[in-house]
Amino acid sequence: MKIFNTLTRRKEEFVPLEPGKVKMYVCGPTVYNYIHIGNARPMVVFDTVRRYFEYKGYEVNYVSNFTDVDDKIIAKALEEGVDSGVISARYIEECKKDMEGMNVKPATVHPQATLEIGGMLEMIQTLIDKGHAYAAPDGTVYFRTSSFPDYGKLSHKNLEELQSGFREIKVTGEEGKEEPSDFVLWKPKKEGEPYWESVWCQGRPGWHIECSVMAKKYLGDSIDIHAGGEDLIFPHHENEIAQSEAASGKPFARYWMHNAFLNIDKNGHVQKMSKSLGNFFTVREISEKYDLQVLRFFMLSAHYRSPLNFSADLMEASKNGLERILTAADRLREAKEAAARREAEASVSGDGRDSLEQAHAEEIKALVAKYEAAMEDDFNTADGISVIFELVKLSNTTVSKDSSVSYIAFVEKTLKTLCDVMGIFTERRTEVLEAEIEDLIRQRQEARKAKNFAVADEIRGKLLDMGIVLEDTREGVKWKKA
């Protein structure tokens, strides 16, 4: 299995630190609003990487954080007149709903920065003790980049060039820095901001130290894979390396993986998606028009290191591609039921495959090998999906109600397995919107008040058909999925 390592800028054979195990850290979102589709790309991509490792039998410890203390969260809290913790808690839950909609598996651990402050204070003190950090008179603690000779090795930037570049950008309030490229580990609170006690000042952590500490706590000093969007290479991941390796004296991450940007294709004009341009879409907005399986399928239709252009046409193409897979899966289920009835009537037992089916089964095994070769070449999901379509075509042309149950089941299981790795369901999902449920419950309540019990029962039955069970309680009507 080969992975393109941003650190070395080449594909390298994956060799885990511990045989059969993968320790993986993926930078998560800053939770101050609904996640946008740019946030979704690394979630989907690296969830798929995780799924492939698990498919190959690895035990994956997958850690992805929530940044729940940040200027944007604080600004949103001040705007709403609530505590910043209210904002972060709200959008962590909303993010989890969107992740579930995209079939992104929950991480082994989803740490939150605000719950790991103690570890951050310890690492900062270690860096000060080792001469890698210093406190300015105002209580700000900076990392001394000149103390780390390898600074710039991930982004392939020269420290001297960085120093001169930073000197041209004079930032007010940073007079306490020794060098312009030194970065913040701890900063003093401002009026109305959340803060924690420290020996340097009442304040809060810098962004970079948060991920270093959470990776160390849940994965150890050295990890196999660190991943995120390419916009995080510098300064975030560069600074993570510097502070982590300066503190531990050990290599931080063996492989660095970064997905490319998501662009917006608007009327043939492609531009980078950004909030400043106002051209972004939230995952929640997309879910109003498409099943989020379509969004996931779209995300995997290109190699993760290739820029991906988002457009209505491409989403429709993804919807149609997904429909081809679902239709093939439906046909397989129907054919298997018909074949099972026929074999039961004929009292047929055993493998039941004829020589032609055996030959087709060998073709399928070859397709699985081709799929694995694509995924093991730096997780080429685009080629992997192409193989799934080849399997769909083979299924459509070789499976019928007259095929053996054994052969149909083999095709069905193979299709499901390859789609599972991609996080794609092969069974149709009927999405029931909560607003629709609540509206039907309200209509039922009105019918009961009017003593129109026939209508009330009809609505209850309709909800049951949708997979919703009603419970009449003293506190009112409650519902749950069957």
Instruction: Give whichever of 168-172, 430-434, 470-474 has the largest mean pLDDT.
Output: 470-474
Q: Are 210 and 224 in contact (CB under 8 A)?
A: no
Over residues 366-375, the pLDDT tens digits come to 999 999 999 9
DSSP per residue over 367-423, as a string?
HHHHHHHHHTBT--HHHHHHHHHHHHHHHHHH--TTS-HHHHHHHHHHHHHHHHHHT
The answer to whether residue 349 scores a pLDDT higher than 90 is: no
The answer to whether residue 145 scores a pLDDT higher than 90 is: yes
- Mean pLDDT, all residues of the chain: 92
Write the Ramachandran bin of 318: left for phi over 0, alpha for psi from -120 to 50, otherwise beta.
alpha
Query: pTM of this prediction?
Result: 0.87
Q: How far apart are CA 70 and CA 72, in angstroms?
A: 5
Please compute the mean of the pLDDT values over residues 75-98 and round it to a whole number: 96
Please compute the mean of the pLDDT values over residues 282-307 and round it to a whole number: 96
Q: Which residue has the higher pLDDT, 151 or 428?
A: 151
The answer to whether residue 421 scores a pLDDT higher than 80 is: yes
Structure tokens at 406: 């054994």
Over residues 22-79, the pLDDT tens digits come to 999 999 999 999 999 999 999 999 999 999 999 999 999 999 999 999 999 999 999 9
The answer to whether residue 169 scores a pLDDT higher than 50 is: no
The answer to whether residue 348 scores a pLDDT higher than 70 is: no
Q: What percent of the chain has pLDDT over 90?
A: 78
Over residues 192-201, the pLDDT tens digits come to 899 999 999 9
Q: How far apart are CA 96 and CA 85, in angstroms?
A: 16
The answer to whether residue 474 scores a pLDDT higher than 80 is: no
Q: Which residue has the higher pLDDT, 462 or 406?
A: 406
Q: Which residue has the higher pLDDT, 383 or 273?
A: 383
Q: How far apart are CA 59 and CA 372, in angstroms?
A: 18
